[in-house]
Amino acid sequence: MARSWLTFGFGVLLLASPLRLVWARPGAWAGAVFVAWAGLVVAGLWLSKERRG
Amino acid sequence: MLLLAFTLGWLSLLFALARLADSRPSWQRLSEHPLVYAMSLGVYASSWTFFGAVGFARTQGVSFIAVSLGPTLACLLIPAVFLPLLRLVRRHQLATTADLFAFRYRSQALGVAVTVAMLLGVLPYLAVQVRAVATTAVALVPGLDPHVVGFSFCAVMLVFATLFGARHATTRERHPGLVMAIAFESAFKTLALLAVGVVAFQLDVTPTPARVEAFLEPARTGGFTSVLLLSVGATFLLPRQFHMAFTEAPEGERGERALRRATWAFPLLLLVMNLPIPLVLWAGEALAPQADGDLYVLLVAEKVPWLAPVVWLGGVSASSAMVIVASLALSSMSLTHLVLPWRRADDPDVYGTLVRQRRVVVGLLLLATFVVFLALDHTGGAQARGGALAQVGLVSFAAVLQLVPGLVGVLFLPRLSSAGVLAGLVAGLVTWGLLLALPVIGLSGVALPGWLTGHDALGVSALVSLTLNVLAALVGSSLAPSSAVELRAAQLCRDEVDSLSPGRLPASLEGFVDRVARVLGRAAARVEVERVTTELQLSRDETGAAALQRVAERLEANLTGLLGPVLSHAALTTEGDEVPGQLVPLATRLQLLEEEARRGGSAAAEALRAWLSNVFASLPVGVCVVSPQGDAVWWNDAWTTLAGAPKPEALRQLPSVGELVVGARTLSVTSAEVTGEGPLPGGRVLVVEDLTTRRALERTMAHQERLASIGRLGAGVAHEIGNPLAGLLMVAQNLAAEEHPVDLRERLGDIVEQGRRIDDIVKALVTFARGEQQGGRQPRLVFLDAVVRDAVSLVSMTKHRRIEAQLEEGLAVQGVAGELIQVLVNLLSNAVAASPADSVVTVTARRLASEVELVVSDQGEGMSAEVQARLFEPFFTTKDPGQGTGLGMSIVYSLVTAHHGHLAVDSAPGQGTRITLRFPAP
């Protein structure tokens, strides 16, 4: 459960602020956001296995 | 017409798929597949995503992605928040957020408030779905009247909503067909969008740097973050999302597995769905710079002849799925919280009525949707600002956001009270209405000052409404704290979260054995833990948190069957505290020990043996097992006490069945054959029982019965004497009234006086006997002077002592005359028996503040402290055998208590006895 909250918090930080620095450079944003998004999908995969042996 | 036929054909295909999933078990199983479940959550992507995302991207830039990134973040919270929520709504059969709130906060008002909030928030959102369909239809077939298209769409939706979901009375019913159809349309709209993306890619358009700069603007000004957070809240709390995620989730473990799988599968679906959006935007802007961004998807699709109708169907699927699921969810809420509280209880066809009402509510919802659609069209509203679909969608999200404080209360804050949450919800909703809802539908609302909102009016307004909501909830909860009932419900909800908390689990498998041992004993605990590790194929030295969590879950499930849910949960989650032994049924423990012993567990066998021999030792009868040779091989303590140590010759003299007198004791003897078991030969078991007490009891009963029959006889005789006595008295009185010599008149006077005395005694006997015969107690006002007079008459019959009565006038108590006479007769008899011949027994009665006091005192021999201690014991007597039953005082005690009175004894040897009775004054 703590792992889930941590990942969520990290996701909010990742998406809400530091990415703006990347977006400041035209053209880089789309890739960065979609990569971050894919990263969160993988995090979800990791979380969904949290309760398996 | 062609378009309508095409659309109806498509919806019928979806419906046929749904029917298939409803009727075929193999399709039903498919509908429970975790991926199908994740796809069905794609109902989130309404026509807002399908058509509106591009329009939103055009006006709000990069924020369009935040709408789908929000659910991605929300999905990261599935293990911590939404899995417990799933268990909670499952366990308590909660179908909607309104049910959830009404359950947790024990408040019907809150259920109503949530329903109203969701209706207000979601109706405009439904209306823009209708508008999306109407606008795209007009774009495809110019000349169509959008109002006619809108109305037809609403009508078709009514039919399909009824066919899909509104066929059952209960809202808890799963609809595998609906899940399949929604998952299918999710897949279809994703593929359609990807196809449009491919077309856009082939157009090969590159945006200008200035365009990209404008596109990024919202990310810098904060618009992006507020949309992101709004959509986190909406992911599972929007009525349609709650419905698909929780109400339609597969049953049991499969549902949890599906939700866990959605942690990554649902974000992945949204990611794929959003990939083509920027491409379509660039292509659309190049093709038609002046057109409405919401129509770009269709515009790009028209580059390929066959793609436009497919995209139209994708859009219709997205809208219709959203409208059907949302109207089902909203109708459940409205039915439960707005309609059912006014239902008639005597309805003979409850289920039929419910289904009909559900259909009517769905119909009304769709009608309201159409009216809002007309209103939106009339006022212009969001249309004027472009990105209409997204604007209304976000305002809807802001309404749903108002449920977040309450949801936090459901899962994490037991102290949040219903009054607080209700206050918060109302405050948040009113703010939402003024700042967000009115402006978006084109009416003048209240605008926040510019310095506060910056570029992100929507985000700041949502934040303001949420802040007021939270403040009102906290203040309300501290002013009107939760009731005990509410706290209990809150605890039920908390338990769902705690059951997942690894912090409360032991660090190793041995820790589980320790915890379970508190309930089952060590041997059985080890067996249970080992069974689980084998089932889960884990090693015995497993310490991984995830593995231990799985062990905990499986153990809890296994133990629930054995011990019930409360105890098995307590056994696994509480640490250190002893689990109350009385909670574990003895039968369960024994059953476990027997199983274990049968499997060869020596500790269990020893525990069973010890328990059985303890049972034998505690038997209130003597038991002795005799070998075929006549030797005593085993006997209990009671045998030694009753019959002495068993010697072979004494045993041989015992009859197999019968009675036997040993000293002052009467014993009964019974015996039975014991068959041999394994290496142990058979024999005989003898049982002796002490009959002394029973015999004494029987004698007392017989004595009582004799006394009672004498009493009945006495009462009968008294009744018979009454009539001739009245005649005699009358004659005597008449004679006495005549002229006679003095001597004769005195003698006649004596006759009359003695005659009256006999009359008093006879009347007292009759009253006393009547009280006994009536049986049923009917308390009424009883005057104490009559009671005392009757009792004194009865007691004076047997022993002649002076009994003086000093009573205040008019004293009365509430009670049964016969019983009160019996109390006094018993007390006076004892007093008289204990008094020397020339002494006086007094009865006094007076009124105290709220009681009436009756005192019987004598100058007799008094009682020692030991005698006083046992005074009220049944069968305790100081009289010689045969003189008293020892029941008198215990009867006094029980009768006084039955009259709500109490009694005190004041006595010492040689000092006389004073017994004080106090009854409540009537």
| The CATH number of domain B695-775 is 1.10.287.130 | yes
Is B841 strand, coil or helix?
strand
pLDDT for res B116: 94
Q: Using an 8 Å CB-CB cutoff, list chain A residues near B62.
A: 23, 29, 33
Q: Using an 8 Å CB-CB cutoff, list chain B residues near A40.
A: 69, 72-73, 76, 267
pLDDT-derived band of residue B631, with 50, 70 and 90 as boundaries? confident
pLDDT for res B678: 76
CB B755 within 8 A of CB B725: yes
CB count in 10 Å sphere of residue B815: 26
| The CATH number of domain B778-922 is 3.40.50.1950 | no
CB contact residues (below 8 A), chain B span 73-102, against chain A: 73, 75-81
- List the CATH code of the domain at B31-343+353-479: 1.20.1730.10
Q: pLDDT by residue (tens digit) across B574-590?
A: 554 444 444 455 666 67
pLDDT for res B776: 52
pLDDT for res B438: 82
CB count in 10 Å sphere of residue B891: 17
Is A26's CB within 8 Å of B228's CB? no
DSSP code at position B82: I
pLDDT for res B393: 83
Is A4's CB within 8 Å of B212's CB? no
pLDDT for res B171: 55
Q: pLDDT by residue (tens digit) across B689-731?
A: 888 888 888 887 887 777 777 777 877 887 788 888 888 888 8
In a domain, A4, yes or no: no
Q: Using an 8 Å CB-CB cutoff, list chain A residues near B228.
A: 12, 15-16
CA–CA separation, B410 vs B14, rounded Å? 37
CB B85 within 8 A of CB B246: yes
**B89 CB-near residues (< 8 Å, 6+ apart):** B95, B99, B100, B246, B247
DSSP code at position B254: H
pLDDT for res B581: 45
Is A26's CB within 8 Å of B213's CB? yes
Is A48's CB within 8 Å of B78's CB? yes
CA–CA separation, B551 vs B509, rounded Å? 8
Q: Which residue has the higher pLDDT, B127 or B570?
A: B127
Q: What is the largest CA-CA distance in chain A?
A: 44
Most confidently predicted of B504-518, B706-720, B761-775, B836-850:
B836-850
CB B922 within 8 A of CB B781: yes
Inter-chain contacts counted by CB atoms under 8 A, chains A and B: 122
- Average pLDDT over all residues of chain A: 72
Lowest mean pLDDT among A37-41, B143-147, B517-521, B882-886: B882-886
Q: What percentage of chain B reaches a pLDDT higher than 90?
A: 21
Q: pLDDT by residue (tens digit) across B888-913?
A: 887 888 889 888 898 899 998 888 99
User: Residue B747: CA atoms inside 13 Å, Cβ hemisphere, count?
Assistant: 5
What residue type is B362 in one-letter code? Answer: V
Each domain of chain B, given as residue ranges in start order, spans 31-343+353-479, 512-612, 623-674+681-690, 695-775, 778-922
Question: Which residues span the domain enclosing A45?
Answer: 26-53
Among chain A residues, the shortest Cα distance to B502 is held by A1
Q: Using an 8 Å CB-CB cutoff, list chain A residues near B267.
A: 37, 40-41, 44
Task: Compute the average pLDDT of residues A38-50.
Answer: 82
Is A41's CB within 8 Å of B502's CB? no
Checking if the pLDDT of B345 tops 70, the result is no
Q: How far is A16 from chain B, CA to nearest CA, in Å? A: 5
- The runs of H, that is alpha helices, within B799-887 are 817-834, 865-869
Q: What is the CA radius of gyration of chain B?
A: 45
In a domain, A13, yes or no: no
Q: pLDDT by residue (tens digit) across B252-307?
A: 778 888 999 999 999 999 999 998 998 898 888 888 888 888 889 988 998 888 89
Q: pLDDT by residue (tens digit) across B555-578?
A: 877 776 666 555 666 667 655 444
User: Using CB atoms, which residue from A8, A15, A49 is nearest to B77?
Assistant: A8
Q: Which residue has the higher pLDDT, B337 or A19?
A: B337
In a domain, A12, yes or no: no
pLDDT-derived band of residue B386, with 50, 70 and 90 as boundaries? very low
Is B80's CB within 8 Å of A4's CB? yes
In a domain, A47, yes or no: yes
CA–CA separation, B170 vs B173, rounded Å? 6
Total structural domains in chain A? Answer: 1
> CB burial class (10 A; 0-12, 13-18, 19+) of residue B445?
middle
In a domain, A8, yes or no: no
pLDDT for res B398: 93
Q: Which residue has the higher pLDDT, B781 or B678?
A: B781
- The runs of H, that is alpha helices, within B835-883 are 865-869
Checking if the pLDDT of B218 tops 70, the result is no
Query: Which pair of tokens denotes residue B16?
Result: 């046929």
Task: Compute the average pLDDT of residues B847-853.
Answer: 90
